Structure 1
């Protein structure tokens, strides 16, 4: 069965765009219902043309997931986060495989009281083990307009990007004995829910339901990745989704195996000016520094 590296309403030769893809990721949008389906609380979905809105009220949140699973590539969604008083709410965009030993890449947008900044928490699970949280404040107000949030995943690195600016890199350090997520197809998901037991100021600020419904808006759904049929074993999908003598995929090209100089400077700027919490520096939780923290440059 042929690999389908790009899922889109148009069939386009990836080779024609590989130069662009290497630099900024191949931008190919599709309608929500071509790539995704509601997971729960369908009555909390609102469709307004190309914009999808998820609502959270005191009866339910809502969520959706991709129809297919993928291994390697890039996924992007544009989101406009909950306006006004969003304390207690979490809007998540993430990739995850199945089972107790799952892999997962998380964006979690933590709401706040009016006038206080939204915080973005990222996390990486490998073989069911997480506890790799980083938190940062954004350099813009994510509630006034749509912004792009992306995960780039290949065999060398996982990169979290905001408007194409890298905010986190999880490097493959298998040669140092650190497990790396590269053998489980992952679905793409998003949801909004109430998490006022921890989301805002450690749970001290609770959700004010008089401001409900809380609404997160989505548009420009993009998946440029290797689709993995459910009927194919994970090991076989890993081979299918990796470059070989017969085929080359853009996510295996040298230019996306590590950040370029400009991206490195961007990441350093983000960490220096917007990083609020890094698990690697939390000696209370980790008296012994996690192995990957000793070797990650960022």
Structure 2
């Protein structure tokens, strides 16, 4: 990995134990005000953990933000050295907030959840291939693989449940969340793993964090339109599925959705609004450690 240092130079360090140790030593000598890393699918975790353990100020940022910043700055070329320089300029201009790294249990939970999602995707793909296959040997292999993936999926889900059972705090949050009609086990696991801020932020910041905060787009011929974008896609996906269930079976969300549709709102707009309301309700419940209470939660908006 290439790193832009305080003196304007770019240095390269291997993303292994020795390279990360050298990086930490180099940065400790410079006493930086902020160290910015791009989220790279988990490859940044060891370096970020080592820097945090050395009491260095670390912020892990969305790579899309950095790339948009680079484009806005007129830097269209992309190499490791240029990326390091762009990150340094991004840190100076934006000064992203430092975020504490999740503890080991939280990281393991998130990895288990990601593995479960991968297994579900592989199972779906193999089942499609089985429908299309005609040869006996291929079909036999596919069936065996599907059976194996199914066992792995069950093992992964059992592992997630055991991790929740090992934490009284997670158990308490799970019990609160699953009491809400529409919020199932998968949605609860995803919220616990990928949205640890739930219950600690206000309704607007938590909506923005997930990517459900409406932004104005009053420009050119667009007037009065509001759009949502960014945020945590995996969280948004489970909230979408939970909301589809909730607008049918949860009296509060159903009444809210029906009211919006009665006002002429398009189905997609009404669903997104219901997703935001569900998120707000769940956030308030965890914040106040309050159990599901339809009359009281109906007033949360």
TM-score range, shorter chain: under 0.3
| Structure number, greater radius of gyration | 2
- TM-score w.r.t. the length of structure 2 is 0.25
Q: By percentage of residues, which structure has more helix?
A: 2
Greater share of residues in strand: 1
Higher relative contact order (CA 8 A, sep 6+): 1
